Amino acid sequence: MSRRSSSSREVLLGLLTIEPMTGYDLGQLIRTSVGHFWRESYGQIYPNLKTLAADGLVTAKTEHQKGKPDRRVYSITDKGREQLGKWLAVEPQPEIPRNELLLKLFFAARVSPEIPIGYLERMVEKERALLRQFRQAEREIAGNRQYPDAPYWRMTARFGQLELEAHLHWAQETLAELRSLAEKEKTGERKGKHHAGK
């Protein structure tokens, strides 16, 4: 048990409190449930399940199937649940994620405004579609009263929605500004072309 900062093992523990699952199931579920703020690759999931088992936080049993490969079904142990509780009590440290879009925009004066306009337009497209299915999903979860996890799941979904809305708002505002910038460049082409081609 060395010092580990990341939470790759804890997602697995957390999802195993819902029901026993295989590594493959966990991969699927991660994509569909927490996928908009947390990803794991199988190259991470399988080895982590092994170390979790070695530490006694989960147990595994193999189920044979005909026609399909064997399943290694993992269950969380009491020790695992305890560990999860401890992890939950530790205040999450806010980190600043890298944003390549903003980085390119920051240096965009070196190229034609058409370039950032291009990728903002495509971004708006994608985000609009995403927002639609987000709102759809929210309506579906909204029905789930009774289940004790439901309110928390709704909160995380709501976060995604609000953030998306903010991004969209910004993108549209920014597009308008970029277009007027492009306009000015075309009309006032007298001197100061500061950016190099290509």
Partner DNA sequence: GGGTGCATGTAATGGGTTACATGATTCT
Partner DNA sequence: AGAATCATGTAACCCATTACATGCACCC
Q: Using CB under 7 A, list all residues that contact DNA.
A: 2-6, 8, 22-25, 28, 39-44, 46-47, 49-50, 65-73, 98
Which lies closer to a second copy via its Cβ, residue 69 or residue 94? 94
Which residues partner with 63 through β-bridges?
Answer: 71
Residue 89 binds which of DNA, a second copy, none (CB < 5-8 A, kind-dependent): a second copy
100 near a second copy, judged by CB under 8 A: yes
Choose between 24 and 87: whose C-beta lies nearer to a second copy: 87
Buried b (16+ CB within 10 A) or exposed e, 70-107: ebbbbebbeebeebbeeeeeeeeeeeeeeeeeeeebee
- Least distance to DNA, CB of residue 62, Å: 8
Rounded to 5 degrees, what angle do the CA atoms 66, 71, 52 make? 170
Residue 36 touches which of DNA, a second copy, none (CB < 5 to 8 A by kind)?
A: a second copy
**CB of 138 closer than 8 Å to CB of 15:** no
Q: Which is nearer to a second copy, 29 or 73 (CB)?
A: 29
78-97 residues near a second copy, rule: CB under 8 A: 81-82, 84-89, 91-97
Cβ proximity to DNA, 12 vs 120, nearer residue:
12
